Homo-oligomer: A and B are copies of this chain.
Amino acid sequence: MSKTTKKIVIIGASAAGLRCACRVKRLQPGWSVKVVEANEVFSYGACGMPYVLSGDIEELGVLRRTTYGSDRDAEYFETVKGVEVLAPWRASAIDPEAKTLIISDGSEDRVLEWDELVIATGASPHALPGQPDHERVRAFHVWDDVKPLKIGLMRGEIGEVAVIGAGLVGCEVAEAFASLWGADVTLIEAAPIPLPEILDPELGMAVARHLESQDVKVLTRCPVDRFEPDDEGVTVHAGGREIRADVAVVAVGVRPRVDLAREAGISLGPTGAIRVDEQLATSVPHIWAAGDCAEVRHVVTGGPAYTPLGSLANRQGRVLGTVLAGGDASFGPIAGAAAVKVFDLNVASVGCTAARLGADGQGVRSMWISAEDRAHYWPEARLILLGMVYDAATRRVLGVQGVGEEGEVAKRIDVAAQLILREATIEDFVDLEHAYAPPYAPALDPLTVLACAAQNELDGIEAESPLMDLSTVTILDVRIDEEREERPIEAGTVVEIEIGELRDRVDEVPDGPMIVVCAHGTRSAEAVRFLAGRGVQARYLGGGMSWRARAK
Contacts and interface: CB of A to CB of B under 8 A. Distances in A.
Interface of A: 15, 26, 29, 45, 47-48, 51, 56-57, 62-63, 65, 67-70, 75-76, 79-82, 168, 309-315, 318, 331-332, 334-335, 337-341, 346, 348-350, 372, 375-379, 407-408, 410-411, 413-415, 417-419, 421-422, 430-441, 443-445, 448, 452, 479-480, 482-483, 499-504, 519-520, 523, 526, 529-530, 533
Contacts of A332: 431
B480 A68 contact: yes
B47 A438 contact: yes
A318 B452 contact: yes
B376 A67 contact: yes
A335 B413 CA distance: 20
B418 A407 contact: no
A436 B47 contact: yes
B339 A435 contact: yes
A436 B48 contact: no
Contacts of A65: 377
Contact of A414 (B45, B331, B415): B415
B377 A439 contact: no
A376 B430 CA distance: 34
A57 B337 contact: no
Contact of A435 (B26, B337, B533): B337
Interface majority SS (helix, strand, loop, mixed), chain A: mixed
B341 A439 contact: yes
A452 B317 CA distance: 13
Contacts of A314: 443-444
B350 A520 contact: no
28 contacts: A26-B529, A45-B375, A51-B438, A56-B379, A57-B378, A68-B482, A70-B500, A79-B503, A80-B499, A80-B526, A82-B503, A82-B530, A310-B436, A311-B434, A311-B441, A311-B444, A313-B443, A315-B444, A318-B430, A337-B433, A338-B435, A339-B435, A341-B439, A350-B435, A407-B407, A410-B411, A418-B432, A422-B422
